[in-house]
Structure 1
Amino acid sequence: MWQFLARNKHVAAMLGVLGVAAVVVIVLTTRGASHYVVESRPEETEDVSSDPHVFSTYTLPSEDRFMPSIGNGHVATNIFSDTVYMNGLYNGRKGVSRRARIPGYANIRLNSTLTHYPFKPVYSLDTRDGVFKVRVDRDRSIVTQRIYAHRFYTRAIVNQIQVVSKPHVDPNFMHHEIWIPVKLMPGPDSDDINFEERVPEKYDGRTLWSSCGKTKEVEDDTYQPLPVDVCVYWTSVPDHLVVPQHGSRVFTFAMSVDNNRTVAREELLKVLQEDGEELFQKHVKPWHQLYQQSGLDIEGNLNLSKIVNGIWYFFLSSLPSEQSYQPLNRFFGLSPTGLARGGTFDDYEGHNFWDTEMWMFPSILLLYPQYAKILLQYRLDNAYVAAQLAKLTGNKGYRYPWESAYTGVEVTQPCCPEVAEFQQHITGCISFAVRQYLATTRDEEWLKHGGCSIVTNIADFWASRAVINYNTGLYDIENVMGPDEDHSNVTNSAFTNVVAGYSLYLAQYVSCLCKSYYMAKDPDHWADIAWSLALPYNAELDYHPQFSGYPRGEGIKQADVVLLGFPLQYPMNTSTRANDLSYYESVTRGSGPAMTWSMHTIGHLDLEDNLRASALFNKSYLGYVREPFKVWSELRRPKVGAVNFFTGMGGFMQTLVFGYAGVRIHLDRLEITRPQLPPEATRFRVRGIKYLGANLSLDIEVKGAELTVNSLDEGTPLVFYNGRYNVTLLPEMTVTLSGKGPFTIRAAQWKDCKLPDDTIGQNYLRPFGS
């Protein structure tokens, strides 16, 4: 993914604002062009809470962009932001398409947080309850504000302000009311939506406001003939809240957003009809249910535990609720900075990249497969657009764009035509995510309703991209760009060729699974191409050149070849894996994104080099996580890049689930190898691993590891193999994992379909490339 670190306009003005703390440097940005970068180095605030699920501070971050977000998969906002975003709401044509800004009618501020009052507010993000809280201890009262995107009333963002008077006060104020000054700060009108004039109405003695409008520009004339409708409802907010001296009261304010006026209005009215505490509990209950389903529990390392809880909170905040008051709208994917961001170029405009399938998807799949299915559905929904893109570029099957948003067409910025043209590996990454989904779910219904088609059409695309090289006898894939975006228009990108080969092999396998209801033409032809794809390998140096003709010693942006070892799990000699890791670590530029070091961590864990793995594990998050609310930046401080960077979070989560816990997904088994504790942890538990209908938990301590069967699907018996003998798993059974493993969990072969060979390029023992 390509990203400008800063604009090169008005640098002098920016320096004037930032003062002496600002530094100007010129760098090669991740979007491939040189720009002035302004770096500020503010002091970070401290998280003072000892609760692993709660992040608390007395001082907010000096930069608003490091404030946390609230969301429910339909609407989201950053705390104290004047902007709200809605799932699927974009404005702008193709390359300038971005999330459409809705004014922040949920941005209600206590005056105590806006001015230098003598009262010191406490700000807290509760990741367990999914709520941001402000607590102000005043002379005559305690004021608590709760801000949350309701998990059941999904169109609504709610503000609740509780005022509790203190029993012992100055007698001079015994008969005085308590006044709490507040302010609604929705910001300017939207530049993205043509909102109509605001309309007031009375409801139960309160004034409600509403405004409807349409996005100003369509993304693509062919696939979006009309702008998108949006309606907003919100409650009026007075200048002061008034409470009797000896009383207490909860004030509820809300805004609701939807494409449909009736839906938005009914949602707001329903929220206002609820008792204040019951309204809050209806929000908290589904959050608790999510954490009961799955989680990563870490003891002995509070900071690590907090970071992990923060990641799951941010992920789940951008994913749809499982139950809602009104039916959910179609979901439009998980972008690199989540639903609460995406209105600017710096935040990737809310677009979908390979980040979803390769970085966020694997951990979500293992713990929350229902959400993995929703993420794949976004790709299925846009399959017809992918078919047209392949046709336009002279190929067959489905070719997915590098960036997509509302319509599914290519929406990469005009700045960066090379990524749109050459970074085609995203199509293979989608197929790889499908492979993992099928391996862990065997979802027959999903295959019937689009799964068979997407797999085989992606294979058709790669088959049409592969061209026989009569000098080598192998198939080449030319004119591509791997994950390393510092090199474009190359031939035989190692990563691209392996994901392409896996895509071809998967189609052969799926054609067998689907044969009773889906006809595929000559599936063995796909496997023949995959088996004969070129895979760059230098026998003398025993490593994989990044592409054919790669100049050894030339720097790269981020993990590329290293991804062959994990997540692709491509078989290779231990020495080759070690050489790939060592060499590419030496040439990866320091300004690369966090997830690079996550993959290096897993590689060294596989090589049993725990000391190096620990160092790279720390490197994969220290410097990227911003206090006090554990918001991730794309780049290591003092640089920033995109905020809040889900991609880096996803890579880090993989170091825990697939690295330290040692879990591996294969088409025919779930595997656990060398489960061990993360640095400084005394206990590490992965709760709610979902595999073929089973619910499993892996518990790792200093003394060893255990696997517990929480529940099983009666229709899919599972067998556990510990390296010596097989054990049929039963509900509530616990098995001890003695030694390094691998320990495997299997079911009977699916439909008697032969597993694919998954060997790419029969050139492994002879030099290829340089």
Structure 2
Amino acid sequence: MLGLLSIAAVVTIVLTTRGGSNAAEDIGSSETEDISPASHVFSTYNLPSNDKYMPSIGNGHIATNIFSDTVYMNGLYNGQAGYSHRARIPAWANIRLNSTLTHHPYSPVYSLDTREGVFKVRVDRERSVVTQRIYAHRFYTRAIVNQIKVEAKTHYDPNFVNQEIWIAIKLMPGPDSKDIAFQEPIPQILNGRTIWSSCGLTKESEDLTYQPLPIEVCAYWTSVPDHLVVPQHGSRVFTFVMTADKNKTVAREELIKVLQEDGEVLFQKHVEHWEQLYQQGGMDIEGNLELAKIVNGIWYYFLSSLPSEESFQPLDRFFGLSPTGLARGGTFEDYEGHNFWDTETWMFPSILLLYPQYANKLLQYRLDTAYVAAELAKITGNKGYRFPWESAYTGVEVTQPCCPDVAIFEQHISGCISFAIRQYLATTRDEEWLKHGGCDIVTNIADFWASRAVIDYNTGLYDISNVMGPDEDHRNVNNSVFTNVVAGYSIYVSCLCKDYYMAKDPDHWADIAWSLALPYDQELDYHPQFTGYKRGEPIKQADAILLGFPLQYAMNHTTRLNDLTYYESVTRENGPAMTWSMHTIGHLQVDDEKKAEAMFNMSYKGFVREPFKVWCELRRPLSGAVNFFTGMGGFLQTLMFGYAGVSIHLDRLEINKPRLPPNATKFTIRGIKYLGANLTLEISANSTKLSVTSLDDNWRLVLNDGKYNITLAPGITVILPGSGPFTVRSEPWKDCKLPTDIIGQNYLRPIGT
């Protein structure tokens, strides 16, 4: 799945992640209960005994885990090549109420409000109610804000006449950074308040060719007293701020502007920007509070790591989504903030349908580093673009020296990027994006795979050798079924760019894609994972079953079922979270709802830690990477593409056999974006409805409900009869005459209908 210790020698041991030294949970790290009845609020009286299960706050530029001594910033890395990792900034935003640090007669309530994007601590004291709000501001994106609201109780107590209310607090920024050489903090007075500032340079560049100079980062923060004082009958909001940026002036101006805002106005402005995000789209589950909370948590964590759409200062370049989000990534266990195939294969599809503007930004990260991918292809003897298995600031290969096999052989990431582009173009028809870099990346990935395919004159088919599929327990194999199909799709999708070809040979590319070898066992009617795969060999995670979904490769019903059944039996139990999400979708596709429910339960139970719905890479009692966005992305796909039955094709959006998730009474996906339209799919026990909020004038959409064609219009709601498939189409966009979703047509195997 990721850049893990994937050589065969480690199959038999428990340490299955790159961060194996911390794969097992700490003894006694019991979970605490979520006491909130609201689906968007997670509350508890007791914090997790293990800090790594604390939630995060972020806004795509800056992020931290609650009560952590570390802040991370988008695009800020330290370390050479394979040792590059997110650079740690001390948490000059980590302010604690003393009543939450030591034993007091009070019972704090800790809450994460995913709708408002804020973590709250509420302490009901003898004479006052104290509420702390911690959030990464969604508009003032360089700022992490701490607000402490003290409300005096109105009842009269003669023992405290004319006595002020004192609230003890503490700033806990942690030790000096080992990644950034910060200068000694400098104090200054600003509008009567003491503020501090410090700038520093990262200590090591990732690659001297592409990053000849270290990165400067500057932080500003407000002075924090030992205690706060409020009159006996008063009420007050105290605001403390930390800002950070690569530009000193930006960080300073942001701090000044934030401190000029009224405390409540500042908070409401943050909440309004979160509300605007959720108005664009969402997934609502009724009847199953557990699932509703998990889904709300996932979208909160995703959006916390994605940039704001509007901000006080211009946004910095975006550096992608890593497997544990922006709030983590300084350690080997948390994948160091690197980008993998996880982004395009696991997180991207659900983000694309609800927030296509963010899908565009994720692809832009690949465009920004494409020139480095060109060099990697060149030095490995190939044409076009070969993207590294792990990338960070510069786009060079940053896989740790521990794991050379994944860097050498796991080349399918280039195909996964191209497949994500295929989905993006299918749902947006973004011609401007094609003109301004899109076609460059599409055609060069196609050129890479064409140069990797070598014809076998004995079979007349093209082989792709010396690769590793998603199953990292098998390295240096030939004709990985997953790799060959995404390679073929990469070549096919180049048809969309034929108007932009220069010295390319698309007809030859099509011949290669059509004739790629695809292992298939005719007697057992299933797909061996690669040429020479021995039946019965254990595998690490979902691989060959990904042909059915997300690749939607055409095959017979029996082949699909056999793939699912067989690979379930040989997948190791301590594999990563997202495997069982794909098995869930597969069994829904073959109409085995009972088996699908069992796989669905396996896809999240044991991976989600209470009370803040933090995902782990491995099932309890193991943990692996935390907070695991990859597993979250797989889970969202079970709902959107499994139970809701949505699928993306080059020429249509399809809804097939929509169903309710287990124990749910209603399932609604709001804000599905297709060719500029805004659609809502509502599934209940007795009906399925598709509603149209708005349409793009450039694309006329027609819904076929299996019997009639219905021209869609704003405000219309269509009841979808039966199980479908139902299709939403527009007029053809590109004149692509290539075969539909078939790779290796000439190979001996049944062709799906």
TM-score using structure 1 length: 0.95
Question: Is 1:511–1:520's contact at 8 Å kept on the other side of the alignment?
Answer: no
Rounded Cα–Cα distance in structure 1 between residues aligned with 2:522 and 2:17: 32
Q: 1:286 maps to which residue?
A: 273
Q: 1:635 to 1:33 in 2, by over 3 A?
A: closer
The CA deviation at 1:767 is 10
- Show CA shifts across 1:474-503 (max 9, x none): 000000000000000000000000000000
Question: Is 2:434–2:497's contact at 8 Å kept on the other side of the alignment?
Answer: no
The CA deviation at 1:536 is 0.3
Instruction: Give the residue type in structure 2 aligned to 1:317.
Output: S
Q: 1:64 maps to which residue?
A: 51
Instruction: Give the residue type in structure 2 aligned to 1:710.
Output: T
Q: 1:520 to 1:736 in 2, by over 3 A?
A: farther
Question: Is 1:540–1:767's contact at 8 Å kept on the other side of the alignment?
Answer: no
Q: 1:532 maps to which residue?
A: 515
Q: 1:429 maps to which residue?
A: 416
Rounded Cα–Cα distance in structure 1 between residues aligned with 2:25 and 2:712: 57
Q: 1:737 maps to which residue?
A: 720
Instruction: Give the residue type in structure 2 aligned to 1:283.
Output: H
Identify which of 443, 448, 463 aligns with 1:476: 463
Identify which of 723, 729, 748 aligns with 1:746: 729
Instruction: Give the residue type in structure 2 aligned to 1:625.
Output: V
Identify which of 456, 462, 468 aligns with 2:449: 462
Rounded Cα–Cα distance in structure 2 between residues aligned with 1:208 and 1:602: 53
Identify which of 674, 677, 680 aligns with 2:663: 680
Rounded Cα–Cα distance in structure 2 between residues aligned with 1:436 and 1:742: 19
Does residue 267 of structure 1 match 2:254? Answer: yes
Rounded Cα–Cα distance in structure 2 between residues aligned with 1:523 and 1:453: 14
Rounded Cα–Cα distance in structure 1 between residues aligned with 2:224 and 2:18: 43
Does residue 568 of structure 1 match 2:555? Answer: no
The CA deviation at 1:758 is 3.1
Report the RMSD for the aligned CA atoms in angstroms.
1.6
Rounded Cα–Cα distance in structure 2 between residues aligned with 1:315 and 1:483: 23
Mapping for residues 546-585 of structure 1, pairs under 5 Å: 546-585=529-568
SS of the residue aligned with 1:84? strand
Unmatched 5+ stretches in structure 2: 6-11
Instruction: Give the residue type in structure 2 aligned to 1:250.
Output: V
SS of the residue aligned with 2:333? helix
The CA deviation at 1:522 is 2.1
The CA deviation at 1:28 is 5.2
The CA deviation at 1:519 is 2.8
Mapping for residues 598-617 of structure 1, pairs under 5 Å: 598-617=581-600
Question: Is 1:491–1:548's contact at 8 Å kept on the other side of the alignment?
Answer: yes
Q: 1:511 maps to which residue?
A: 497
Rounded Cα–Cα distance in structure 1 between residues aligned with 2:56 and 2:113: 11
Instruction: Give the residue type in structure 2 aligned to 1:184.
Output: L
Q: 2:680 maps to which residue?
A: 697
Higher deviation after alignment, 36-45 or 458-467: 36-45
Q: 1:706 maps to which residue?
A: 689
Q: 2:204 maps to which residue?
A: 217
Question: Is 1:27–1:35's contact at 8 Å kept on the other side of the alignment?
Answer: no
Rounded Cα–Cα distance in structure 2 between residues aligned with 1:292 and 1:400: 35
Rounded Cα–Cα distance in structure 2 between residues aligned with 1:36 and 1:91: 24
The CA deviation at 1:335 is 0.1
Q: 1:90 to 1:766 in 2, by over 3 A?
A: same
Q: 2:8 maps to which residue?
A: none
SS of the residue aligned with 2:559? helix
Rounded Cα–Cα distance in structure 2 between residues aligned with 1:691 and 1:38: 43
Mapping for residues 291-440 of structure 1, pairs under 5 Å: 291-440=278-427
Question: Is 1:2–1:32's contact at 8 Å kept on the other side of the alignment?
Answer: no
Rounded Cα–Cα distance in structure 2 between residues aligned with 1:35 and 1:245: 49
Rounded Cα–Cα distance in structure 1 between residues aligned with 2:24 and 2:670: 42
Question: Is 2:305–2:326's contact at 8 Å kept on the other side of the alignment?
Answer: yes
Rounded Cα–Cα distance in structure 1 between residues aligned with 2:13 and 2:288: 38
Instruction: Give the residue type in structure 1 aligned to 2:264.
Output: E
Q: 1:45 to 1:588 in 2, by over 3 A?
A: same
Q: 1:291 to 1:35 in 2, by over 3 A?
A: closer
Rounded Cα–Cα distance in structure 2 between residues aligned with 1:712 and 1:305: 29
How many residues were matched structurally?
A: 746
SS of the residue aligned with 2:119? strand
Does residue 637 of structure 1 match 2:623? Answer: no
Identify which of 164, 171, 179 aligns with 1:177: 164
Rounded Cα–Cα distance in structure 2 between residues aligned with 1:751 and 1:347: 42
Does residue 207 of structure 1 match 2:190? Answer: no
Question: Is 1:41–1:638's contact at 8 Å kept on the other side of the alignment?
Answer: no
Instruction: Give the residue type in structure 2 aligned to 1:463.
Output: A
SS of the residue aligned with 2:454? strand
Does residue 237 of structure 1 match 2:224? Answer: yes
Rounded Cα–Cα distance in structure 2 between residues aligned with 1:337 and 1:401: 19
Q: 1:22 maps to which residue?
A: none
Q: 1:351 to 1:100 in 2, by over 3 A?
A: same
- Show CA shifts across 1:264-286 (max 9, x none): 00000100000000000110011
SS of the residue aligned with 1:695? strand
Q: 1:572 to 1:142 in 2, by over 3 A?
A: same
Q: 2:653 maps to which residue?
A: 670
Mapping for residues 117-128 of structure 1, pairs under 5 Å: 117-128=104-115
Rounded Cα–Cα distance in structure 2 between residues aligned with 1:319 and 1:34: 30
SS of the residue aligned with 2:297? helix
SS of the residue aligned with 1:438? helix
The CA deviation at 1:520 is 5.2
Q: 1:12 maps to which residue?
A: none
Question: Is 1:538–1:767's contact at 8 Å kept on the other side of the alignment?
Answer: no
The CA deviation at 1:711 is 0.5
Rounded Cα–Cα distance in structure 2 between residues aligned with 1:35 and 1:66: 13
Instruction: Give the residue type in structure 2 aligned to 1:616.
Output: M
Q: 1:17 maps to which residue?
A: none
The CA deviation at 1:4 is 6.7
Instruction: Give the residue type in structure 1 aligned to 2:533.
Output: Y
Question: Is 2:24–2:623's contact at 8 Å kept on the other side of the alignment?
Answer: no
Identify which of 125, 137, 141 aligns with 1:138: 125
Instruction: Give the residue type in structure 2 aligned to 1:40.
Output: I
Does residue 99 of structure 1 match 2:91? Answer: no
The CA deviation at 1:678 is 0.1
Rounded Cα–Cα distance in structure 1 between residues aligned with 2:18 and 2:233: 60
Rounded Cα–Cα distance in structure 2 between residues aligned with 1:4 and 1:42: 25
Question: Is 1:440–1:690's contact at 8 Å kept on the other side of the alignment?
Answer: yes
Question: Is 2:147–2:239's contact at 8 Å kept on the other side of the alignment?
Answer: yes
The CA deviation at 1:2 is 4.4
Does residue 78 of structure 1 match 2:61? Answer: no
Question: Is 1:69–1:78's contact at 8 Å kept on the other side of the alignment?
Answer: yes
Question: Is 2:62–2:326's contact at 8 Å kept on the other side of the alignment?
Answer: yes
Question: Is 1:511–1:523's contact at 8 Å kept on the other side of the alignment?
Answer: no
Q: 2:487 maps to which residue?
A: 500
Rounded Cα–Cα distance in structure 2 between residues aligned with 1:758 and 1:530: 10
Instruction: Give the residue type in structure 1 aligned to 2:644.
Output: A
Instruction: Give the residue type in structure 2 aligned to 1:510.
Output: L
Rounded Cα–Cα distance in structure 2 between residues aligned with 1:494 and 1:518: 28
Instruction: Give the residue type in structure 2 aligned to 1:591.
Output: N
Question: Is 1:605–1:613's contact at 8 Å kept on the other side of the alignment?
Answer: yes
Instruction: Give the residue type in structure 2 aligned to 1:574.
Output: H
Rounded Cα–Cα distance in structure 2 between residues aligned with 1:650 and 1:754: 33
The CA deviation at 1:724 is 1.1
Question: Is 2:28–2:49's contact at 8 Å kept on the other side of the alignment?
Answer: no
Question: Is 2:4–2:403's contact at 8 Å kept on the other side of the alignment?
Answer: no
Moved over 4 A (4+): 2-5, 31-39
Instruction: Give the residue type in structure 1 aligned to 2:399.
Output: T
